[in-house]
Each structure stands twice: as C-alpha cells, then as structure tokens.
C-alpha cells in the first residue's frame, strides 16, 4: 500500500543507490549518473518554483512540512521502487513526491506536489477535482497550454460530457479526462475564484449548482464558450 511507504523505506529499497540534495523546502534523492543528477541545480530550482506556484494557486501562505522527492530514471525504475509503472506519484500523508526524469519523460513539474499540498491543506476530494487542480498547477498538457489542449479535444468532439466526467472520472481515458478536468477547474478558478474551487473541493460535484447558482449544463456551455476555437475574420 503506497500510503504506508515512508521516505526511509524508499531510500533503503533494494536495488537502489541514491545521491541527494537539499533545499529550503525539499529533500531530493536521485539516481547516480541520471538526468536528474546532471541537471540537479535546475531541478531544485524548479521544485522551489513549483512550491511557490502551488501555494499561490491554493491561496495558502505557507506549507511548513519538508517534502521528500525521489527522482528515478524510467517508468521501469518507478515500478521497481513502488510497484506501479507511472510517470509520477504523490503520497500526501508522507509528504512524498516521486517522478520520472528521462530523455522522453519529465514529470518534475508541479502536478504531484500539488496533490501533496492540496490534500494536506484542504483535505480529501473527488478524483476529478484532485487531478484537475494538479493539472492546472502546471497549466499545460503535453507541452500545450491547458485551455488550448481542451479546445482541441472540444473541436474533435472528444470531450466527455461534463456530468459524466464529474460522476465517473475514472471510467474514461486519462488522455482526455486529465486535460479536460484541468481546463474545467481552471475555468472555475478564473471565473469564480479560489474560494469557490475550495468549497467545491470540500463539498463535491453535487454541490456545484448550489455553490455557483448555475446548473452543470449551464456551466458546461459557459466553459465550452470560453475555450472554443475562435474563427478568424475571413474564415467560413
């Protein structure tokens, strides 16, 4: 069970030898001769910048706990470490963040850190808003601006109907649900503010019409209108 993993358990995991670095707010472990080690100064700076962004996004002044970070060189190494082949993993109750940094994968952004700080500061939440806020913390999806990524999916008729996304987030492909939820949370944040997002986080999707005063269908139309591709003047 991942929630039971501690920093010391991961640090002492058989088959791993770690080097380490420390900043004001992070303890980082990385594999020798890895991309993370070769770019450790940039990595530590990025972690501090991600922390600043997440705190600003949440409207929180500080986060007192030091976060321990493990950077591995591949998804295969991640599976060897935690039993799951993923790009990144957060363990909020242990203030732990793990991610892959390789030539083809860089999961060292704010996403996993947002999971840790948001869950610790705001409590538990439904998956759609938990993942949506974490995607919004980076404000990109596959190197594209977040709303632009959702706009493309909208134009391709690939977005999941919002009511279904909120009720059954994990029943649809992540390559759609993650940028879609991220864009919707960004829309809520920009249109209605962090306090509204925090209230929805706490009370769940069923409370959205009462909190905002609009139906889910009305919000979906408003969000789609915000992200819809705009035709140029001479386009038909």
Per-residue confidence band for 235, with pLDDT thresholds at 50, 70 and 90:
very low
Residues 111 and 138 in one domain: no
Is 69 inside a domain boundary? yes
- Can you give the CATH number for the domain in which 48 is found? 3.40.30.160
- Choose one of 100, 122, 144: the last residue of a domain: 122
Tell me, what's the pLDDT at 211? Answer: 98
Per-residue confidence band for 231, with pLDDT thresholds at 50, 70 and 90:
low
Tell me, what's the pLDDT at 229? Answer: 80
Residues 14 and 101 in one domain: yes
Q: At what angle do helices 146-155 and 216-227 cross, to 10 degrees?
A: 100
Residues 45 and 94 in one domain: yes
Q: Residues 152-207: pLDDT tens digits?
A: 999 999 999 999 999 999 999 999 999 999 999 999 999 999 999 999 999 999 99
Cβ atoms within 10 A of the Cβ of 118, count? 25
Residues 116 and 6 in one domain: yes
Tell me, what's the pLDDT at 49? Answer: 97
User: What does the longest C-alpha to C-alpha distance in the chain come to?
Assistant: 63
Is 105 inside a domain boundary? yes
pLDDT over 60 at 232, yes or no? no
Residues 95 and 146 in one domain: no
Distance (Å, whole) CA 208 – CA 213: 8
Residues 164 and 179 in one domain: yes
Calculate the average pLDDT of the chain. 95
Residues 141 and 214 in one domain: yes
Tell me, what's the pLDDT at 120? Answer: 97
Tell me, what's the pLDDT at 157? Answer: 96
Residues 191 and 213 in one domain: yes
- Choose one of 83, 102, 122: the last residue of a domain: 122
Is 25 inside a domain boundary? yes
What number is the average pLDDT over the span 88-115?
96
- Choose one of 122, 154, 175: the last residue of a domain: 122
What number is the average pLDDT over the span 130-134?
98
Q: Residues 52-80: pLDDT tens digits?
A: 999 999 999 999 999 999 999 999 999 99
Tell me, what's the pLDDT at 18? Answer: 97
Share of the chain above pLDDT 70, in %: 95
- From residue 23, alpha-carbon distances to 40, 49, 129, 197, 200 in Å are 11, 12, 30, 30, 33
Tell me, what's the pLDDT at 5? Answer: 78
Is 118 inside a domain boundary? yes
Is 143 inside a domain boundary? yes
pLDDT over 50 at 236, yes or no? no
Per-residue confidence band for 234, with pLDDT thresholds at 50, 70 and 90:
very low
Residues 9 and 68 in one domain: yes
| Number of domains forming the structure of the chain | 2
Is 233 inside a domain boundary? no
* Domain of residue 218, residue span: 127-227
Tell me, what's the pLDDT at 4? Answer: 65
What number is the average pLDDT over the span 111-128?
97
pTM: 0.93
């Amino acid at each position: 069970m991942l929630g039971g993993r501690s920093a010391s358990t991961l640090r002492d995991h058989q088959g791993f030898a770690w080097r380490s670095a420390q900043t004001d707010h992070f303890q980082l472990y990385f594999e020798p001769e890895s991309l993370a080690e070769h770019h450790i100064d940039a990595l530590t700076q990025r972690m501090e910048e991600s922390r600043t962004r997440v705190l600003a996004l949440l409207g929180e002044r500080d986060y007192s706990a030091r976060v321990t970070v493990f950077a591995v060189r591949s998804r295969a190494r991640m599976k060897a470490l935690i039993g799951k082949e993923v790009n990144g993993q957060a363990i909020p109750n242990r203030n732990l963040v793990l991610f892959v940094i390789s030539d083809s994968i860089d999961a060292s952004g704010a996403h996993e850190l947002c999971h840790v700080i948001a869950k610790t500061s705001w409590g538990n939440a439904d998956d759609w808003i938990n993942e949506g806020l974490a995607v919004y913390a980076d404000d990109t999806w596959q190197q594209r601006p977040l709303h632009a990524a959702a706009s493309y999916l909208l134009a391709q008729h690939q977005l999941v109907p919002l009511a279904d996304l909120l009720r059954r987030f994990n029943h649809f492909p992540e390559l759609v649900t993650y940028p879609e939820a991220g864009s919707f949370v960004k829309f809520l944040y920009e249109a209605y503010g962090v306090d509204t997002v925090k209230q929805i986080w706490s009370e769940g999707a069923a409370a959205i019409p009462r909190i905002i005063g609009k139906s889910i269908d009305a919000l979906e139309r408003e969000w789609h209108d915000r992200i819809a591709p705009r035709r140029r003047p001479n386009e038909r």
